[in-house]
């Protein structure tokens, strides 16, 4: 939508729930999110066209008509987009050059049908019966056989269970193709209402759906709040009201979605009762139905696609089920034929789903993201063990062991799988047999008395080598392909070998072998293959020193790049050995044996359960400041997996500022570590049990001055069963485990269980490159968003990056880079940088930035539920590809584009508790620093139990210390703000649910606190000596605290009830401007005049008065106010409006005039927070971000 020439507030970006999806063809997906309609190319994830539909409604559904061919290669598609009581008739034109370039797309708005009588539930294109032959599928993008003529009417189904039919004013195919904006002056006279009918059942519906495309055959399916679905024929012939032909009774809750099968012989309904029901209506006298349980919350939609049902739910998942209509419904009871459960969206609800003709499922989330899934990855048939496994019996023993004696028993002792079609078996009689699994033929690889009665085997990853361990401590190394002659190696002690780990080395012929002996020792060997000489050599390297507590080793990984060996023990310990230190190992008296100590020992990685697998991955140049990022993954039998970062390795990331980071980079496919809701740890604090301690550092390491540390950065429990294996496949993290005697494979990167992993893993990605077609925002209500206001440019001449921090009900802290005018449309300007969910996460209500003396290093404070307050260190650095480009903004001006940057976010500290009640919420924060006190940040915080406190966060000690306490308010305090005077004077403003604004002079209390604190350099413990009785929480020490009892001024009854928002600005001699927005719809302006006396270091209030108020500033509670200049204020409210106000203060009378300049609709439901950022040097332009369920950014110009 083009801006009105006089409009100063222009919407430039929004991310809101994706509520409508439809495929034009397999490569072009239409999406509706908020007021925007987008066309996205599936294969490349590019947004090809985007249009703002205007108005105050969001797109609830897109209904496609037939394709109109234009020339040989291009086409156009008519479609309806509707929501609430508005409907637009649109056309998408797709121009294909045929030269290999991508298609060019544009939207065209044909007609506006702006105000319908009632809420629209469905709309349908209608043709004259003569123009339609055969069936006309309603749910899919392909219309086969497609009508060649244009539709002539549209039918609209309403929430009060009635239908209207309008005739199109003109043949839509005859309208010239051109790109346009929305025409506001539509002539509606030709939109003739040609038919109208009410169902005999008068009720309010939550859902409805048409079937068929001619008025004569049109049916409507109504989903009622009384748990019934009603099917009725629209053009029924007689009477005023249409009779209900069929009632589908069975659901136990409101119907939220209803769909017809393509042939109209079945209906699929979903409900509040969390079930999907499929109704066979072929015989109206005997309607059969199936019930499908599985979703863990309300189900919003389900469609029948061939052999599948595809459903979406409030549980944010998309599930695929077996279509029950293909079997006999009469013998079906409650079913859970769930074939796949795709959980990619964050927070609550997947709202929309579309399936392309080549079986790519697109889901749109409440989080504003769009994900792609492949339906053809589901192998039909279950993955039950019994169906897919096969017993293997040894061939008759005499066929390979002719001289077997009757005393010898033959059976399989151990086996390994060497390829998809080959396996190798060790038998009790000392034979090693190869089985070709395709031809089911056997051959003898080796036999030896050494292997009689006991063998343990391991194969190399490549499958070329099999190593067998003997009772006598010998290793037998065998080539499956006969590349070398068998080798028998000694493992030193002559003790039974219990486990062998055959690990890949640097080259394809190098391997590292770790053997775990029966006496609980580990020997390490190097195995080299020479195909030229057909020999293998096995060299002893060393033994490894194990902690006493370790009974067995269950996992091992060797990194040739760093020459490190990683072991995981049965009792949960991860050990790292540096094989570079072999030369320095003290061999003591034993000349043969060398015992190497670990450099890292990390205990209880999976509690006391076994570490079942270890994987180490190096991402070259992907780490902080362009260093290599070295990641270690472990899985455990506690059902969880853990991600560590290796710090201090050569060229790798080092320990130091901002090193604990989690990035979510949309440009990288392999880094999609969304944090699970049930995650345990992120961004670990420095020290503690999350880091592997370094033991006996070697001289080499000391020379480098680096410490080697394994730092836990993420852990998540996936199952109540065991996790056994972690592997990366195409950059996606896959976890294999067992639960309830079943094997499962979970795709952690995309959050879904692979029901049929063989197909899933090999499914090519030729249809799309990125399964995340569109990045998401928060999945729940955002409660606070703050721009990093004083960010510094990362290179000279470049603009400072624009960073936002946001938090809300999803307990996540997210950081985004806002890139204005990144593309020609306004939908893709927020780039996710980081997505953190702290341990013991609590809803975030408030957050504030602070600044440090270190370049590009910032502090962020978050506060919220269960009295949680945290300090985070955010460090920005230049990404490898950083360069400044110049692009054009929407007004055609050349502006520098902000290119991607790298961001680190580290949790520094958690604030101790100070309230008696655990449920106390921190409602708001205000952060300031004082001149002469570097590294000290003062955090004014207000609490739901009526307390206001000022905390010191000390950068050096990384501790929160309680500085000032006040219990003056006996109400839940909602807002806090501050004003800083020169010479250290500080005024604090607080406001509560009683509508009063209170003014505090903090100067004295802060002076007294600082004197005491600096005197003993903060040596006192930050926590109280005695823990709070009956609670394990850490209480703050009150040693340094100053009590504040009396405010210097109070402005009473500024609002009738809660002061939801307050913004203050020092106007110098005029006083301090306090603008507040209330729950009572009112906007108030107050002026506080003070005088600072330097001698006594006190602030006296001369006056504090409300000078202007608009009682009806908004139609609902005001949620946020911002002062953009001394004379202008922006407000937003639950009524979803943003308003710009002029504040004119008369110098003589100190009275003010408050005049609304302009208002606009905000497409963010439940707007809770707003922040502004100057967008030009002279501060005449501002970016205004409003967040709630989604986010919208406006530019406010002069």
Within 108-127, the residues that bind other proteins by CB under 8 A are 114-115, 117-119
Torsion of CA 802, 807, 808, 810, to 10 degrees: 120
Among 580, 582, 1159, 1197, binds other proteins (CB under 8 A): 1159
Is 274 among the residues that bind other proteins (CB under 8 A)? yes
For other proteins, which residue of 915, 941, 998, 1192 counts as binding (CB under 8 A)? 915
Q: How far is the CB of 1127 from other proteins (least distance, A)?
A: 20
Out of 456, 715, 719, 825, name the contact with other proteins by CB under 8 A: 719
Which range touches other proteins (CB under 8 A), out of 142-150, 499-507, 819-827, 943-951?
Answer: 943-951
Strand order in the sheet with 844-851: 844-851, 857-864, 869-878, 901-910
921, 937, 949, 978: which one contacts other proteins (CB under 8 A)? Answer: 921
The token pair that represents 781 in the structure block:
């209500």
**Cα dihedral sign, 700-706-709-712:** negative
907 binds other proteins (CB under 8 A): no
Rounded to whole angstroms, the Cα distance separating 302 from 224 reads 16
CB 693 to other proteins: min, Å: 29
User: At closest approach, how far in Å is the CB of 810 from other proteins?
Assistant: 13
State which of residues 642, 691, 1060, 1192 lies at the interface with other proteins (CB under 8 A).
Answer: 1060
- Closer by beta carbon to other proteins, 86 or else 1183: 86
Could you say which of 298, 322, 517, 627 contacts other proteins (CB under 8 A)?
Answer: 298
Q: Which of 184, 248, 260, 257 is nearest to 217 (CA)?
A: 260
| 86 interacts with other proteins by CB under 8 A | yes
Q: Is 1056 in the site for other proteins (CB under 8 A)?
A: yes
The yes or no reply on residue 606 touching other proteins (CB under 8 A) is: no
Q: Of residues 36, 206, 989, 1040, which one binds other proteins by CB under 8 A?
A: 206
Q: CB-wise, 162 or 624, nearer to other proteins?
A: 162
Q: How far is the CB of 695 from other proteins (least distance, A)?
A: 33
Q: Is 294 in the site for other proteins (CB under 8 A)?
A: yes
Interactions with other proteins, residue window 458-497 (CB under 8 A): none
As measured in angstroms, the least distance from the Cβ of 174 to other proteins is 29
Q: Between 324 and 363, how does the x/- string for binding to other proteins read (CB under 8 A)?
A: ----------x-x-x--x------xx-x------------
Residue of the chain from 252, 357, 508, 1016 that contacts other proteins (CB under 8 A): 252
Q: Where are the beta strands (DSSP E) in 882-947?
A: 885-888, 894-897, 901-910, 922-928, 936-943
Would you state the torsion angle of the CA atoms of residues 817, 819, 822, 825, taken in this order, to the nearest 10 degrees?
90
**In 887-923, which positions are buried (b, 16+ CB within 10 angstroms) versus exposed (e)?**
beeeeeeeeebbbbbbbbbbbbbbbbbbbeeeebbbb
Nearer to other proteins by Cβ, of 478 and 942: the residue is: 942
Q: Which is nearer to other proteins, 943 or 1009 (CB)?
A: 943
* Pairing of β 522-530 and β 869-878: unpaired
Residue 418 sits at the vertex; the CA angle it makes with 417 and 420, to the nearest 5 degrees, is 80
Q: Which is nearer to other proteins, 387 or 982 (CB)?
A: 387
Site for other proteins in 1107-1126 (CB under 8 A): 1111-1112, 1114-1117
Name the segment binding other proteins (CB under 8 A); options: 78-86, 98-106, 683-691, 889-897.
78-86
Q: Which of residues 1005-1044 bind other proteins (CB under 8 A)?
A: 1030
Contact residue for other proteins among 573, 613, 875, 1081 (CB under 8 A): 1081
Site membership for other proteins, residue 385 (CB under 8 A): no
Q: Report the run of H or E that residue 387 belongs to, with start and end.
A: helix 385-388
Backbone angles phi, psi at 401, to 5 degrees: -135, 80
Phi, psi of 604 (to 5 degrees): 50, 45
Distance CA 54, CA 1185 (A): 19
Is residue 849 within the footprint of other proteins (CB under 8 A)? no
Which residue matches tokens 């293909």? Answer: 326
# binding residues, other proteins (CB under 8 A): 111
How far the first Cα of the chain sits from its last, in Å, is 20
If binding is defined by CB under 8 A, does position 924 make contact with other proteins? no
Coil vs helix vs strand at 892? coil
181 is a contact residue toward other proteins (CB under 8 A) = no
Using CB under 8 A, pick the residue from 272, 701, 848, 907 that binds other proteins.
Answer: 272
Question: Mask: binding to other proteins, 951-990, rule CB under 8 A, as x and -?
Answer: -------------------xxx-x----------------
907 vs 927: CA distance, rounded Å: 17
Among positions 17-36, residues that touch other proteins (CB under 8 A) are: 17, 19
The region of 466-474, 587-595, 916-924, 1041-1049 touching other proteins under the rule CB under 8 A is: 916-924
Residue 739 near other proteins by CB under 8 A: yes
Q: Please provide residue 630's backbone torsions phi and psi, each rounded to the nearest 5 degrees.
A: -115, 120
With contacts defined by CB under 8 A, name the span among 43-51, 188-196, 420-428, 1051-1059 that binds other proteins.
Answer: 1051-1059
Decide whether 771 or 1082 has the Cβ nearer to other proteins. Answer: 1082
Of the candidates 818, 800, 913, which has an alpha carbon nearest to the alpha carbon of residue 858? 800
Instruction: Please choose, out of 79-87, 801-809, 812-820, 872-880, the segment that lies near other proteins by the rule CB under 8 A.
Output: 79-87
Q: Do 857 and 699 form a contact (C-beta atoms < 8 A)?
A: no
Shortest Cβ distance from residue 1081 to other proteins (Å)? 5
Give one DSSP letter per residue of 130-191, joined into a string: GG--S---SSSS--SSPPSSPP-EEEEEETTSEEEEEE-SS-GGGSPP------S----TT-
- Shortest distance, CB of residue 748 to other proteins, whole angstroms? 11
Q: Which of residues 31-60 bind other proteins (CB under 8 A)?
A: 54-58, 60
For residue 675, state whether it binds other proteins (rule: CB under 8 A). no
As measured in angstroms, the least distance from the Cβ of 643 to other proteins is 17
Tell me the closest approach of the beta carbon of residue 1058 to other proteins, in angstroms: 4
Cβ neighbors of 1185 (< 8 A, separation 6 or more) are 785, 787, 804, 818, 1170, 1171, 1172, 1173, 1191, 1192, 1193, 1194
The answer to whether 521 contacts other proteins (rule: CB under 8 A) is: no
Q: Rounded to an integer, what distance in angstroms lies between the CA atom of residue 1175 and that of residue 534?
A: 71
Kindly state the helix (H) or strand (E) to which residue 974 belongs, with its residue range: strand 973-980
Which of positions 679-708 make contact with other proteins (CB under 8 A)?
Answer: none
Q: 615-674: which residues touch other proteins (CB under 8 A)?
A: 639
**Cβ count near 399 (within 10 Å):** 10
The whole-angstrom distance between residue 1110's C-alpha and the CA centroid of its chain comes to: 41
**How many C-alpha atoms does 121 have within 13 Å on its Cβ side?**
25
Q: How far is the CB of 244 from other proteins (least distance, A)?
A: 16
Prior bond to 1005 cis, omega within 30?
A: no
Burial class (CB in 10 A: 0-12, 13-18, 19+), 193: exposed
Distance CA 69, CA 1183 (A): 43
Residue 182 found at the interface with other proteins (CB under 8 A): no
Q: Shortest approach of other proteins to residue 256 CB, angstroms? A: 7
**DSSP secondary-structure letter at 521?**
-
Q: Give the nearer residue to other proteins in terms of CB position, either 113 or 502.
A: 113
- Can you tell me which of 106, 431, 633, 943 binds other proteins, judged by CB under 8 A? 943
Residues 586-605, interacting with other proteins (CB under 8 A): none
CB of 16 to other proteins, least distance (A): 11
């Amino acid at each position: 939508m083009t801006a009105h020439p006089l409009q100063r507030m222009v919407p430039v970006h929004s991310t809101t729930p994706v509520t409508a999806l439809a495929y034009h063809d397999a490569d072009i997906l239409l999406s509706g999110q908020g007021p925007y309609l987008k066309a996205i190319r599936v294969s490349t994830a590019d947004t090809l066209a985007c249009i703002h539909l205007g108005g105050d409604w969001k797109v609830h559904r897109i209904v496609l008509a037939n394709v109109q061919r234009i020339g040989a290669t291009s086409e156009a598609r008519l479609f309806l987009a509707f929501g609430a009581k508005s409907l637009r008739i649109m056309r998408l034109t797709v121009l294909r050059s045929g030269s290999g370039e991508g298609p060019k797309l544009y939207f065209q708005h044909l007609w506006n049908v702006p105000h319908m009588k009632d809420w629209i539930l469905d709309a349908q294109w209608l043709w004259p019966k003569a123009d339609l032959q055969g069936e006309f599928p309603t749910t899919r993008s392909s219309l086969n056989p497609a009508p060649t003529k244009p539709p002539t009417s549209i039918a609209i189904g309403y929430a009060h269970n009635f239908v209207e039919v309008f005739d199109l004013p003109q043949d839509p195919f005859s309208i010239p193709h051109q790109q346009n904006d929305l025409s506001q002056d539509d002539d509606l006279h030709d939109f003739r209402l040609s038919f109208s009918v009410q169902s005999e059942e008068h009720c309010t519906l939550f859902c409805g759906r048409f079937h068929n495309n001619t008025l004569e055959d049109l049916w409507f399916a109504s989903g009622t709040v009384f748990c019934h679905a009603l099917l009725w024929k629209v053009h029924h012939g007689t009477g005023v009201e249409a009779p209900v032909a069929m009632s589908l009774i069975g659901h136990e809750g409101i119907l939220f979605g209803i769909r017809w099968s393509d042939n109209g012989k079945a209906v699929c309904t979903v409900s509040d009762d969390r079930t999907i029901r499929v109704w066979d209506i072929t015989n109206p006298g005997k309607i059969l139905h199936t019930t499908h349980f599985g979703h863990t919350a309300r189900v919003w939609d389900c469609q029948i696609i061939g052999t599948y049902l595809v459903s979406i739910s409030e549980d944010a998942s998309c599930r695929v089920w077996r279509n029950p209509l293909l079997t006999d419904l009469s013998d079906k009871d409650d079913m859970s034929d769930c074939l796949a459960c795709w959980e990619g969206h964050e927070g609550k609800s997947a709202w929309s789903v579309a399936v392309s003709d080549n079986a790519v499922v697109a889901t749109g989330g409440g989080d504003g993201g769009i994900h792609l899934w492949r339906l053809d990855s589901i192998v039909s048939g279950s993955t039950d063990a019994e169906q897919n496994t096969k017993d293997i019996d040894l061939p008759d023993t005499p066929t390979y062991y002719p001289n077997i004696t009757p005393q010898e028993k033959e059976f399989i002792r151990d086996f390994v799988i060497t390829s998809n079609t080959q396996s190798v078996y060790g038998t009790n009689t000392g034979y090693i047999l190869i089985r070709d699994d395709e031809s089911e033929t056997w051959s003898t690889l080796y036999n030896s008395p050494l292997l009689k009665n006991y063998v343990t085997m391991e194969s190399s990853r490549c499958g070329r080598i099999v190593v067998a361990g003997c009772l006598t401590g010998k290793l037998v190394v065998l080539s499956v392909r006969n590349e070398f002659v068998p080798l028998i190696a000694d493992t030193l002690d002559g003790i039974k070998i219990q486990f062998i780990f055959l690990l890949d080395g640097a080259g394809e012929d190098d391997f590292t072998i770790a053997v775990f002996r029966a006496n609980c020792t580990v020997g390490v060997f190097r195995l080299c293959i020479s195909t030229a000489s057909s020999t293998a050599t096995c060299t002893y390297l060393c033994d490894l020193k194990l902690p006493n507590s370790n009974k067995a080793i269950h996992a091992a990984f060797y990194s040739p790049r760093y020459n490190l060996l990683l072991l995981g023990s049965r009792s949960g310990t991860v050990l790292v050995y540096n094989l570079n230190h072999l030369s320095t190992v003290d061999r003591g008296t034993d000349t043969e044996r060398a015992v190497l100590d670990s450099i890292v020992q990390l205990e209880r990685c999976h509690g006391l359960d076994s570490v079942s697998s270890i994987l180490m991955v190096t991402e070259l140049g992907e780490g902080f400041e362009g260093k290599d990022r070295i990641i270690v993954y472990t899985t455990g039998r506690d059902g969880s997996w853990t991600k560590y970062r290796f710090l201090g390795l050569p060229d790798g990331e080092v320990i130091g500022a901002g090193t604990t980071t989690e990035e979510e980079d949309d440009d990288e496919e392999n880094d999609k570590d969304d944090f699970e809701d049930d995650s345990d740890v992120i961004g670990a604090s420095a020290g503690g049990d999350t880091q592997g301690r370094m033991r006996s550092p070697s001289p080499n390491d000391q020379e480098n001055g680096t410490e080697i540390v394994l730092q836990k950065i993420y852990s998540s429990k996936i199952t109540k069963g065991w996790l056994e294996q972690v592997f990366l496949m195409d950059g996606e993290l896959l976890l294999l485990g067992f639960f309830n005697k079943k094997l499962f494979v979970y795709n952690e990167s995309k959050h879904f269980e692979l029901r049929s992993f063989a197909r899933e893993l090999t499914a090519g990605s030729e249809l799309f490159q990125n399964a995340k077609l569109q990045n998401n925002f928060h999945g729940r209500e955002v409660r606070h968003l703050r721009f990093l206001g004083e960010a510094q440019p990362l290179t000279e001449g470049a603009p400072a990056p624009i960073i936002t921090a946001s938090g809300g009900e999803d307990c996540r802290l997210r950081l985004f880079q806002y890139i204005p005018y990144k593309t020609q449309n306004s939908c893709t300007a927020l780039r996710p940088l980081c997505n953190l969910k702290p341990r013991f996460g609590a809803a975030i209500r408030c957050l504030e930035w602070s600044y440090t003396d270190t370049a590009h290093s910032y502090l962020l404070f978050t506060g919220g539920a269960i009295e949680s307050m945290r300090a985070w260190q955010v460090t920005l650095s230049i990404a490898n590809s950083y360069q400044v480009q110049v692009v054009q903004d929407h007004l055609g001006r050349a502006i520098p584009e902000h290119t991607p940057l790298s961001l680190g976010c580290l949790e520094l500290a958690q604030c101790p508790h100070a309230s008696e009640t655990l449920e106390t919420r921190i409602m708001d924060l205000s952060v300031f620093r004082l001149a002469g006190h570097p590294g000290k940040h003062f955090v004014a915080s207000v609490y739901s139990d009526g307390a206001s406190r000022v905390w010191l966060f000390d950068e050096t000690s990384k501790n929160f210390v309680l500085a000032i306490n006040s219990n003056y308010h006996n109400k839940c305090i909602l807002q806090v703000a501050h004003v800083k005077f020169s010479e250290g004077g500080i005024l604090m403003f607080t406001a509560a649910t009683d509508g009063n604004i209170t003014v505090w002079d903090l100067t004295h209390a802060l002076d007294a606190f600082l004197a005491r604190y600096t005197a003993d350099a903060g040596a006192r413990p930050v926590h109280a000596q005695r823990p709070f009785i009956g609670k394990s929480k850490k209480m703050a020490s009150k040693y340094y605290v100053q009590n504040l009892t009396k405010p210097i001024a109070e402005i009473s009854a500024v609002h009738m009830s809660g002061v939801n928002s307050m913004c203050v600005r020092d106007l110098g001699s005029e006083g301090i401007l306090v603008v507040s927005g209330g729950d009572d719809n009112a906007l108030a302006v107050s002026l506080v005049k003070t005088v600072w006396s330097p001698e006594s270091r006190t602030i006296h209030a001369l006056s504090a008065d409300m000078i202007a108020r608009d009682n009806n500033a908004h139609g609902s509670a005001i949620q946020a106010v911002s002062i953009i200049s001394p004379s202008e204020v922006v407000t937003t409210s639950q009524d979803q409006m943003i308003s710009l106000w002029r504040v004119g203060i008369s110098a003589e009378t100190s009275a003010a005039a408050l005049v609304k300049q302009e208002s606009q609709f905000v497409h963010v439901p439940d707007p809770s927070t707003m922040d502004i950022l100057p967008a030009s040097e002279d501060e005449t332009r501002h970016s205004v971000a409003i967040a709630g369920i989604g986010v919208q950014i406006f530019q406010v110009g002069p």
